Amino acid sequence: MDIIQFLLDLLFSEAVFVPLIFPGLLTLTVVIVVIIWFERKLAAKVQLRYGPLYVFKPLGGIVQLVADLVKFLFAELIVPKGADKRAFLLSPVILFTFSVAPVVAIPLSSGYAAVKSDLTLLIVPALLTLAPIFVLILGWSSDNKFSFIGGLREGYMMMAYETTMFVAVLAMAVTYSSLSLIDIAGKQSNGLWGIVLNPLAAFAFFVAMLMTTARFPFDVTEAESEIVIGPYTEYSGIYFGLCLGASYAKLYVLSLFFAVVFLGGWNPLIWPLNLNPILPGVAVLVKAFLVMLFCVFLRSVYPRFRIDQALQLGWHKLLALSVASVVLALVLIGLGFEVG
């Protein structure tokens, strides 16, 4: 019996449970399956179509992506002749890993977090900045002009959105006078969420989030009619699946982050949520899911910007906006406004 108890303890220990089960890999997989299904169903609704329907009809084709994944798994992986083989094969894996990795720094409740640090507000965006480098590498290693251009576009976009995102995060750090996500979520328990306190930072962060995850209207890295599918052009099979999954994983992580920083985290801590230290995480997940839903919905509303227009928006308007959000935060502090 001791062994079973030991295994259970191990499973529910923060260091295992968070990265592997909730909100880590397992939850991520389910969320990706559901969000892609929602994305396609929403778009279909707007576009007067049915969307996915035939894979498991009683639930409206919700397992369509599972079928697609199985197909991806059995598809041949083609490595182009001129490709840098090692980089070509390794970078999608590392890209996906680094896209999911920041999830460990996101706390589920005040007592349950894998990374016990006072700097989690910085750890999440810091880990995320590693991922785009591998998009650059895989675009370069494919030996294809479209992949190369796509990789470069990702590089340009990275510079445009990261600055904005970091400055917006800085504004929130000033607003809450804390760099710990647990503290920040705790300080929103009075119902005054981050999005109300500093709407400028929330908006700047949200748009930067759309840019980094290549959602419309900032779909420039994967612009189909221009550069086929950007950096992933030469990939096939499950590696292609990994590349696409990485962008959704990033969206997932950023939405969780957005939910904790701007949407009150696990607050309000109502009845069934306060029974167990893991359960408040469900509230975070639900909020994050709604954010994701909004992000993917934009696909049916907007065409895509040109790269120079997206960059201009990033550098000229968003950066100014995020700087303004820092000023706003300083004003709040200067007026003696105590949060939490």
- List residues near another protein by CB under 8 A: 43, 46-49, 145, 149, 216-217, 219-220, 223-228, 299-309
- Would you call 97 exposed, middle or buried from its count of C-beta atoms within 10 A (0-12, 13-18, 19+)? middle
Q: Is the Cβ of residue 132 or residue 217 nearer to another protein in the bound state?
A: 217
Q: Is the Cβ of residue 34 or residue 43 nearer to another protein in the bound state?
A: 43
Query: Min. distance of Cβ 247 from another protein in angstroms?
Result: 16
Query: Min. distance of Cβ 278 from another protein in angstroms?
Result: 39
Q: Is the Cβ of residue 22 or residue 218 nearer to another protein in the bound state?
A: 218
Q: Is the Cβ of residue 131 or residue 160 nearer to another protein in the bound state?
A: 160
The single-letter code of the amino acid at 132 is P
Query: Min. distance of Cβ 53 from another protein in angstroms?
Result: 16
Query: Min. distance of Cβ 38 from another protein in angstroms?
Result: 16
Name the 3-class secondary structure at 204.
helix
Encoded tokens for 281: 């995480």
The partner residues of 112 in beta bridges, in order of sequence, read 109
The single-letter code of the amino acid at 79 is V
Query: Min. distance of Cβ 268 from another protein in angstroms?
Result: 36
CA separation for the pair 286, 267 (Å, rounded): 12
Query: Min. distance of Cβ 228 from another protein in angstroms?
Result: 6
Name the 3-class secondary structure at 109.
strand
CA distances from 99 to 19, 131, 134, 192 (A): 12, 6, 10, 30
Name the 3-class secondary structure at 237.
helix
Q: Is the Cβ of residue 56 or residue 315 nearer to another protein in the bound state?
A: 315
Residue 335 and residue 197 in contact, taking contact as beta carbons nearer than 8 Å = no
User: Does residue 268 have a cis bond before it (omega within 30 degrees)?
Assistant: yes
Query: Min. distance of Cβ 306 from another protein in angstroms?
Result: 4
Query: Min. distance of Cβ 209 from another protein in angstroms?
Result: 18
CA separation for the pair 220, 304 (Å, rounded): 7
Q: Is the Cβ of residue 276 or residue 309 nearer to another protein in the bound state?
A: 309
Residue with tokens 């590349």: 243
Residue 156 and residue 306 in contact, taking contact as beta carbons nearer than 8 Å = no
Q: Is the Cβ of residue 46 or residue 330 nearer to another protein in the bound state?
A: 46
Q: Indicate the length of the chain as a whole number.
A: 340
CA separation for the pair 285, 96 (Å, rounded): 20
Q: Is the Cβ of residue 114 or residue 149 nearer to another protein in the bound state?
A: 149
